[in-house]
């Protein structure tokens, strides 16, 4: 899904000291790189030397025991809002990354892009309650960010301590 008018609404403020951590991808409208992904995680770490965020996306391919795929990325926080980042997974291209919403206690987040083509709902645990997920989707609908065609990402709840 894309729109002609770029989406620009983001969370009003993001405390990066609480946001930079490991997130489990719960559901989304994801990229071709995430096809057949299981146990997807995205970890953000501040790189002080480079003044950027190092991003490590990991998933298993095709099953919970599939080969681990890791996609390292780099991100830079906008000077105007710490909820807007530029993210690079292939040099020299950078894409806009919008933190649309997050839990006040940083237990979940919703991330999108200006075209609304992609959406990731992530949690700091490998599952979200159905009520919480419904609330997040309602909140995104309220700000007019498309929640159509979301696909759940299987997370291995039983082996959570050994997850990738």
Overall domain count for the chain: 1
User: Do residues 83 and 102 touch, judged by C-beta distance below 8 A?
Assistant: no
Q: Is the pTM of this model over 0.85?
A: yes
Give a yes or no: residue 6 inside a domain: no
Question: Tens place of pLDDT for every residue, the chain, 164 residues?
Answer: 555 688 999 999 899 999 999 999 999 999 888 899 999 999 999 999 999 999 999 999 999 999 999 999 999 999 989 999 999 988 888 999 999 999 999 999 999 999 999 999 999 999 999 999 999 999 999 999 999 999 999 998 776 555 66
Structural domain range at position 30:
16-162
Partners of 92 in the beta sheet? none
Give a yes or no: residue 8 inside a domain: no
Q: Is the dihedral of CA 31, 92, 145, 108 positive or negative?
A: positive
Cα–Cα nearest to 164, from 58, 12, 76: 58
> Which domain CATH number covers 89?
2.40.128.20
| CB burial of residue 47 (10 Å; 0-12, 13-18, 19+) | exposed
């Amino acid at each position: 899904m894309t729109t002609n008018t770029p989406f620009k609404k983001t969370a009003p403020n993001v405390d990066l000291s609480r946001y930079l951590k490991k997130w489990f991808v719960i559901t989304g409208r994801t990229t071709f790189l995430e096809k057949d992904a299981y146990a997807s995680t995205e970890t953000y770490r501040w790189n002080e030397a480079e003044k950027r965020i190092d991003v490590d996306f990991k998933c298993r391919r095709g099953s919970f025991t599939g080969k681990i795929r890791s996609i390292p990325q780099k991100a830079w926080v906008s000077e105007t809002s710490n909820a807007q980042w530029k993210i690079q997974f292939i040099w020299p291209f950078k894409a806009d990354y919008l933190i649309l919403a997050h839990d006040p206690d940083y237990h979940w987040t919703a991330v999108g892009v200006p075209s609304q083509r992609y959406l990731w709902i992530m949690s700091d645990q490998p599952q979200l309650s159905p009520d919480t997920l419904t609330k997040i989707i309602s909140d995104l609908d309220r700000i007019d960010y498309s929640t159509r065609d979301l696909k759940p990402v299987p997370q291995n709840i039983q082996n959570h301590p050994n997850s990738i």
